[in-house]
């Protein structure tokens, strides 16, 4: 077990930010911690990284107790905090080498994490000269310096543009192949794109803990497609397993399919056969969205 949380409660003054939370995470696994703002995500992550103590309850990271074995917990986790605090006037290598010293990590590791996070072309700049996407990479590189088994990433993709978003998502997915990744987000598509499992938190309580695969199996899929021209709903309903069509905007359609199969290639072939041009094509999990709405609104 990589992360084991047992009955954690955190009270700030008169406010209960976490109320008796328990869950477990294995390695390797990418788990999305999903919840609206103020749900308690960052609080949970700060507790797991030993930045703050819980009011009651206990947790283990990589077999080490957060209260009694703080040093080993810190050795086991790489943490990207919510606002990724960086010194803007420092050079990328300077920043990483400062932290390598703190962690007592061999200097050769700096070039390794620069490569791993795709920072090479920007590594000669100061952090202040980097785009938000590259700053996130610096934060990730920093979290990876001591090659931790567990990565705790607090909203790693917030504020990134669509290209940066895809890059960082791919990076995290790759890291998740042999590490435990626990990442928070308030964006459902994020969970869809990256995670094996989702834990949904609302007002300090866990309201769902499910494998994405189980959510998908036997559930409806929604494909969002944009054509270059108007298409009749009835025409789109000819697609196999199509149950509902909703024209959400100009030439954008949400097609609900009653199947767990990914229907995007069918939509693509259908468009091709009917001389329609596709401008965008996305899939979303109807069940995750309805689950989230139902549990957090
Ligand atoms: P999330 O990361 O899900 O947005 P947080 O864990 O940051 O949520 O916050 C959970 C709740 O605890 C919020 O209502 C927030 O205002 C409150 N909170 C967080 N940190 C503190 C603090 N240091 N002092 C008082 N209240 C806090
Ligand atoms: Mg937060």
- Mean pLDDT over each residue of the chain, to the nearest integer: 93
Residues 86 and 225 in one domain: no
Out of 67-81, 112-126, 230-244, 249-263, least confident range: 249-263
Give the nearest ligand 1 atom to 82 CA. Answer: 2
Residues 40 and 121 in one domain: yes
**Cα gap 232→226, rounded to integer Å:** 13
Residue with tokens 């992360």: 3
Which domain does 258 fall in, by range? 218-296
Last residue of a domain, one of 182, 216, 250: 216
**CB-based contacts of 230: which residues, under 8 Å, 6+ apart?**
251
Residues 63 and 154 in one domain: yes
Residues 41 and 52 in one domain: yes
Under the banding of pLDDT at 50, 70 and 90, the label for residue 214 is confident
**Cα gap 123→32, rounded to integer Å:** 29
Provide the pLDDT for residue 162: 84
Q: Residues 79-116: pLDDT tens digits?
A: 999 988 899 999 999 999 999 998 899 999 999 999 98
Overall number of domains in the chain: 2
How far does the centroid of ligand 2 lie from the alpha carbon of residue 10, in Å? 14
For the segment 20-34, the average pLDDT, to the nearest whole number, is 95
Q: Residues 53-77: pLDDT tens digits?
A: 999 999 999 999 999 999 999 999 9
Give the nearest ligand 1 atom to 44 CA. Answer: 6
Question: Whose Cα sits closest to atom 24 in ligand 1?
Answer: 12
Last residue of a domain, one of 167, 182, 216: 216
The dihedral over CA atoms of 166, 171, 173, 176, expressed in degrees to the nearest 10, equals -160
Under the banding of pLDDT at 50, 70 and 90, the label for residue 255 is very high
Last residue of a domain, one of 192, 216, 240: 216
Residue 289: give its domain's CATH number.
3.30.70.1560
Residues 201 and 285 in one domain: no
Residues 186 and 238 in one domain: no
Where does residue 204 rank: exposed (0-12), middle (13-18), buried (19+ CB within 10 A)? buried
Residues 269 and 226 in one domain: yes
Residue 126: give its domain's CATH number.
3.40.50.300
**Cα gap 59→118, rounded to integer Å:** 33
Who wins on pLDDT, 12 or 286? 12
**Minimum-distance ligand to the CA of 17?**
1
* Ligand 1 proximal residues by C-beta, below 6 Å: 12, 15, 17, 35, 37-43
Report CA-CA distances (Å) from 284 to 72, 129, 189, 289.
39, 36, 7, 8
How far does the centroid of ligand 2 lie from the alpha carbon of residue 154, in Å? 7
Residue 21 has pLDDT above 80, yes or no: yes
Report CA-CA distances (Å) from 221 to 25, 154, 178, 294.
27, 28, 29, 17
Cis peptide before 28 (omega within 30 of 0): yes
Residues 208 and 238 in one domain: no
Give the nearest ligand 1 atom to 204 CA. Answer: 10
Provide the pLDDT for residue 218: 62
Q: Residues 265-286: pLDDT tens digits?
A: 999 999 999 999 999 999 887 7
How far does the centroid of ligand 2 lie from the alpha carbon of residue 44, in Å? 9
Residues 178 and 247 in one domain: no
Residues 157 and 186 in one domain: yes
Q: How far is CA 297 from the centre of its chain?
A: 21
Are β-strands 221-227 and 278-285 bridged in parallel, bridged antiparallel, or unpaired?
Answer: antiparallel
Residues 15 and 126 in one domain: yes
Residues 202 and 175 in one domain: yes
How far does the centroid of ligand 2 lie from the alpha carbon of residue 134, in Å? 21
Residue with tokens 């960086």: 86
């Amino acid at each position: 077990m990589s992360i084991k949380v047992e009955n954690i409660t955190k009270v700030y003054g008169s406010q209960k930010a976490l109320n008796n939370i328990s869950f477990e995470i294995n390695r390797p696994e990418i788990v999305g911690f999903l919840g609206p703002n103020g749900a308690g995500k960052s609080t949970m992550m700060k507790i797991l990284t030993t930045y703050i103590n819980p009011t009651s309850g206990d947790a283990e990271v990589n077999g080490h107790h957060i209260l009694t074995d703080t040093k080993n917990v810190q050795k086991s986790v790489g943490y990207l905090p919510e606002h990724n605090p960086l010194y803007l006037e420092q050079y990328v290598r300077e920043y990483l080498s400062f932290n390598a010293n703190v962690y007592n990590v061999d200097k050769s590791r700096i070039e390794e994490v620069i490569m791993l996070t795709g920072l090479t072309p920007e590594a000669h700049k100061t952090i202040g000269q980097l785009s938000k996407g590259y700053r996130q990479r610096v934060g990730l590189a920093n979290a990876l310096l001591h090659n931790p088994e567990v990565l705790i990433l607090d909203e790693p993709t917030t504020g990134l543009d669509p290209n940066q978003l895809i890059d960082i998502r791919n990076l995290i997915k790759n890291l998740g192949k042999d590490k435990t990744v626990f990442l928070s987000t308030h964006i459902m598509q994020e969970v869809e794109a990256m995670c094996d499992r989702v834990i949904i938190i609302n007002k300090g309580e866990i309201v769902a803990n499910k494998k994405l695969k189980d959510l998908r199996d036997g559930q409806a899929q929604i494909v969002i497609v944009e054509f270059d021209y108007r298409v009749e709903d009835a025409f789109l309903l000819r697609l196999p397993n199509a149950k509902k069509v909703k024209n959400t905007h100009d030439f954008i359609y949400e097609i609900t399919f009653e199947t767990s199969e990914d229907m995007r290639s069918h939509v693509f072939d259908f468009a091709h056969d009917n001389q329609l041009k596709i401008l965008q094509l996305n899939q979303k999990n109807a069940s995750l969205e309805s689950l989230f709405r139902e549990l957090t609104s």
